[in-house]
């Protein structure tokens, strides 16, 4: 049975970190036969920029359906001054 992983790159250094995690997952799948698949979704500041919320509903639904999650860093100075403090990543 394929294990599905949701990759949430996030912001700042997050995408760089999760890109390396994806490379490891590729080796596990391709060289060792680990039955995994993955997809990415926006979260944090990237989620706010894409959908107006740091945890867009589509991302939340994908997270609930995933077998595991790889989370990068979230937040940064760009989003520190949002008026609605509940939306700050």
CB neighbour burial string for 62-74, b if at least 16 within 10 angstroms, e if fewer: beeebeeebbbbb
Query: Taking a C-beta distance cutoff of 8 angstroms, is the pair 2, 64 a contact?
Result: no
Whole-model pTM: value is 0.94
pLDDT band at 41 (very low <50, low <70, confident <90, very high): very high
pLDDT digits (tens, 9 = 90+) for 24-38: 999 999 999 999 999
What mean pLDDT do residues 78-88 have? Answer: 92
What span, in angstroms and rounded, lies between the C-alpha atoms of 49 and 57? 14
């Amino acid at each position: 049975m394929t294990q599905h992983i949701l990759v949430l790159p996030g912001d700042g250094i997050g995408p760089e970190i999760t890109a390396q995690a994806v490379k490891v997952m590729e080796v596990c799948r391709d060289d060792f036969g680990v039955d995994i698949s993955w997809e990415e979704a926006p979260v944090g500041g990237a989620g706010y920029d894409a959908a107006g919320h740091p945890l867009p509903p589509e991302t939340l639904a994908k997270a609930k359906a995933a077998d595991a999650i790889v989370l990068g860093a979230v937040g940064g100075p760009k989003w520190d001054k949002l008026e609605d403090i509940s939306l700050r990543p």
